[in-house]
Amino acid sequence: MTVSDTLVPYPEAIERYEPVIGLETHVELGTRTKMFCGCTTAFGAEPNSQVCPVCLGLPGSLPVVNRAAIEYTIRIGLALNCTIAEWCRFARKNYFYPDMPKNFQISQYDEPLCTDGYLDVEVNGKTVRVGIERVHLEEDTGKSLHVGGATGRIHGAEYSLVDYNRAGIPLVEIVTKPITGTDADAPVAARLYVTELRDLLRSLHVSDVRMEEGSLRCDVNTSLAPRGASQWGTRTETKNVNSLRSVERAVHFEIERQAAVLDAGGRVIQETRHFHEDTGTTTSGRSKEEAQDYRYFPEPDLVPVAPPRDWVEQIRASLPEAPAARRARLRAEWDMSEADMTALSNAGALDLVADTVAAGASPADARKWWLGELSRRAHDTETELAVLAITPAQVARVAALVAAGTLNDRLARDVIDAVLAGEGAPDEVVEARGLAVVSDDSALTAAVDEAIAANPEVAAKIRDGKIAAAGVLVGAVRKATGGKADAARVRELILERLT
Ligand SMILES: [Zn+2]
């Protein structure tokens, strides 16, 4: 076993070392067309069907900047409290990689569009202000597919295919300043930062921010220094961290690994590492390139970008309420606990509950249906709540039918099942299936009499004053009526007859 394979248990590692983390997040913008050409950006098309001379880098082709991508980037920069450059240029980042057709990437280097902002993140009841170093715009690369190996990686593959559909899609990189002082919470802080950033980006409508489809990607930097040291340690950069949970696990693992290296008197190597979802570990990738390796120079085929100030102010005025402010406002309006709000956020149900409340349901009812029954349905079918075939207005209608006594909870679940199965709106289902609660005495009396006749011993007990036994008869009546009987009224009718 080598030094790099051993780990120091997390609490011990934190006792002796202070972690500093940093995050570089790549966001694919949801523009209709690519960064420098008119090719569509739609996801999931046939490989190499969305390409043209510009994004394939053919000789003589010239790029033109996508205005919407500039606008989206300014939106992101303003939402992150950044300064928007009055004048900036794109740069060529030179490196050779098969999924990059031009052998350089058009990016931004020393003149990013947005600089020096921040994002506040709640970590275990404490506000951590994460500094934003820069937000810059670049183009995405294509995608390599390694065929024939066991792991899908290039090692062991027989051959590789490349798909350039993604090449040239606008990509925003958001780089934090080093995040210090989070101590044992560093892994959680990393996850919560990415979560907050994702929610913010979603609210700005600039990207669909799906980590599983790669439209939000994260590299996590971690370094450790002995407590009280005047200098930070050497950082590693962990790539391919493709879920929120993995962000936390990657930092956690790197802290335990680097502590072991330092304990043994070794030094942490500045390198790129790969995160492995199955084991929660990282392994060494390549040693990290320095900026000079990329031979950056200003992109000669593009004019500088100089967004007019009135345009920037117009964009600022159009920004939506920030997710954190919205959560605080809704929490107060709905009178919910912080834990309830967190549960709604984590389930992706905040907007659905807001829409259900707007359609007339009480916050408690909206929360109950979305986090209970509907979350179960989403889980069973492995889909997200938002794509279930029921609208917030329909959920509000079901809640109203329950509140009015037309449905009980069991019937309401049947109605929801039918709506999800495409049988129509709640009222149509109630009508078509005859699902309404039966509280009409004439319809219930016969069933009550039958239940009493069929259970003479129970009836005798009730006559003797053991009223609790009535539950058995209520159950029998409800069973006989397919769950539709109004339980409270049935109980009254039974007691009227037997006491
Ligand atoms: Zn193109």
Give the tens place of pLDDT for each residue, 19-32: 999 999 999 999 99
Q: Mean pLDDT throughout 259-282? A: 92
Q: How far is the CA of 210 from the centre of ligand 1 (A)?
A: 23
Q: Which two tokens stand for residue 16?
A: 């002796």
Q: Which two tokens stand for residue 66?
A: 């996508």
Q: Mean pLDDT throughout 215-229? A: 94
Q: Mean pLDDT throughout 139-148? A: 92
Q: How far is the CA of 56 from the centre of ligand 1 (A)?
A: 7
pLDDT at 130: 98
| 5 has pLDDT over 70 | no
Q: Give the bridge partners for 218, in sequence order.
A: 25, 241
pLDDT at 149: 80
Q: Mean pLDDT throughout 233-245? A: 91
Q: How far is the CA of 72 from the centre of ligand 1 (A)?
A: 20
Angle, vertex CA 287, rays to CA 281 and CA 289, nearest 5: 130
| 253 has pLDDT over 80 | yes
> CB within 8 A of 285, min separation 6: which ones?
239, 271, 272, 273, 274
Q: How far is the CA of 139 from the centre of ligand 1 (A)?
A: 11
Q: How far is the CA of 215 from the centre of ligand 1 (A)?
A: 19
> Please, are residues 145 and 151 in contact by the beta-carbon 8 Å criterion?
no
Q: How far is the CA of 252 from the centre of ligand 1 (A)?
A: 41
Mean pLDDT of the chain: 91
pLDDT at 289: 64
pLDDT digits (tens, 9 = 90+) for 164-180: 999 999 999 999 999 99
Q: How far is the CA of 3 from the centre of ligand 1 (A)?
A: 48
| 3 has pLDDT over 50 | no
Q: How far is the CA of 169 from the centre of ligand 1 (A)?
A: 9
Q: How far is the CA of 167 from the centre of ligand 1 (A)?
A: 8
Question: Hey, how many other C-beta atoms are within 10 angstroms of the C-beta on 60?
Answer: 5
Q: How far is the CA of 55 from the centre of ligand 1 (A)?
A: 4
| 33 has pLDDT over 60 | yes
Q: How far is the CA of 417 from the centre of ligand 1 (A)?
A: 45
Q: How far is the CA of 99 from the centre of ligand 1 (A)?
A: 14
Q: How far is the CA of 304 from the centre of ligand 1 (A)?
A: 21
Q: How far is the CA of 356 from the centre of ligand 1 (A)?
A: 42
495 vs 140, higher pLDDT: 140
Q: How far is the CA of 163 from the centre of ligand 1 (A)?
A: 13
Q: How far is the CA of 275 from the centre of ligand 1 (A)?
A: 32
pLDDT at 66: 97
Q: How far is the CA of 38 from the centre of ligand 1 (A)?
A: 6
Largest CA distance in the chain: 99
Q: How far is the CA of 283 from the centre of ligand 1 (A)?
A: 35
* Calpha distance 89→105 (Å, rounded): 14
pLDDT above 90 covers a percentage of the chain that reads 63
Q: How far is the CA of 63 from the centre of ligand 1 (A)?
A: 9
Q: How far is the CA of 66 from the centre of ligand 1 (A)?
A: 12
pLDDT at 346: 79
Q: Mean pLDDT throughout 46-60? A: 96
Question: Hey, how many other C-beta atoms are within 10 angstroms of the C-beta on 131?
Answer: 17
- Strand pairing report for 281-287 and 114-123: unpaired
Q: Give the bridge partners for 173, in sequence order.
A: 26, 136
* Calpha distance 210→16 (Å, rounded): 37
| 13 has pLDDT over 60 | yes
Q: How far is the CA of 64 from the centre of ligand 1 (A)?
A: 11
pLDDT at 450: 87
232 closest CA partner among 175, 288, 290, 180: 180
Q: How far is the CA of 100 from the centre of ligand 1 (A)?
A: 13
- pLDDT interval class at 291 (50, 70, 90): low
Q: How far is the CA of 302 from the centre of ligand 1 (A)?
A: 16
Q: Mean pLDDT throughout 372-385? A: 88
Q: How far is the CA of 36 from the centre of ligand 1 (A)?
A: 7
Q: Which residue is associated with the tokens 């006749």?
A: 453
pLDDT at 2: 47
| 319 has pLDDT over 80 | yes
| 370 has pLDDT over 90 | yes
* Calpha distance 38→31 (Å, rounded): 11
> CB within 8 A of 50, min separation 6: which ones?
39, 40, 41, 42, 165
pLDDT at 448: 87
The 3-class secondary structure across the chain, one letter per residue, is CCHHHCCCCHHHHHHHEEEEEEEEEEEECCCCECCCCCCECCCCCCCCCCCCCCCCCCCCCCCCCCHHHHHHHHHHHHHCCCEECCCECCEEEECCCCCCCCCEEEECCCCCCEEEEEEEEEECCEEEEEEEEEEEEEECCCEEEEECCCCCCCCCCCEEEEECCCCCCEEEEEEECCECCCHHHHHHHHHHHHHHHHHHHHHCCCCCCCCCCCCEEEEEEEEEEECCCCCCCCCEEEEEECCHHHHHHHHHHHHHHHHHHHHCCCCCCCEEEEEECCCCEEEEEEECCCHHHHCCEECCCCCCECCCHHHHHHHHHCCCCCHHHHHHHHHHHHCCCHHHHHHHHHCCCHHHHHHHHHCCCCHHHHHHHHHHHHHHHHHHCCCCHHHCCCCHHHHHHHHHHHHCCCCCHHHHHHHHHHHHCCCCCHHHHHHHHCCCCECCHHHHHHHHHHHHHHCHHHHHHHHCCCHHHHHHHHHHHHHHCCCCECHHHHHHHHHHHHC
Q: How far is the CA of 113 from the centre of ligand 1 (A)?
A: 23
Whole-model pTM? Answer: 0.79
pLDDT at 325: 92
Q: How far is the CA of 107 from the centre of ligand 1 (A)?
A: 17
| 350 has pLDDT over 50 | yes
Q: How far is the CA of 106 from the centre of ligand 1 (A)?
A: 14
Q: Which residue is associated with the tokens 């609208």?
A: 391
Q: How far is the CA of 145 from the centre of ligand 1 (A)?
A: 20
| 411 has pLDDT over 90 | no
Q: How far is the CA of 175 from the centre of ligand 1 (A)?
A: 27
pLDDT at 288: 62
| 112 has pLDDT over 70 | yes
| 468 has pLDDT over 90 | no
Q: How far is the CA of 57 from the centre of ligand 1 (A)?
A: 9
Q: Mean pLDDT throughout 262-288? A: 89
> How many residues are recorded in the chain?
499
* Range 456-465, long-range pairs (CB < 8 A, 24+ positions): 459/498, 462/494, 462/495, 462/498, 462/499, 463/498, 463/499, 465/499
| 340 has pLDDT over 80 | yes
- Please tell me the least confidently modeled range out of 107-111, 132-136, 159-163, 276-280: 276-280
Q: How far is the CA of 103 from the centre of ligand 1 (A)?
A: 16
pLDDT at 232: 92
Q: How far is the CA of 31 from the centre of ligand 1 (A)?
A: 13
Q: Which residues have beta carbons under 5 A from ligand 1 (an ion)?
A: 37, 39, 52, 54-55
Q: How far is the CA of 168 from the centre of ligand 1 (A)?
A: 7
> Please, are residues 334 and 357 in contact by the beta-carbon 8 Å criterion?
yes
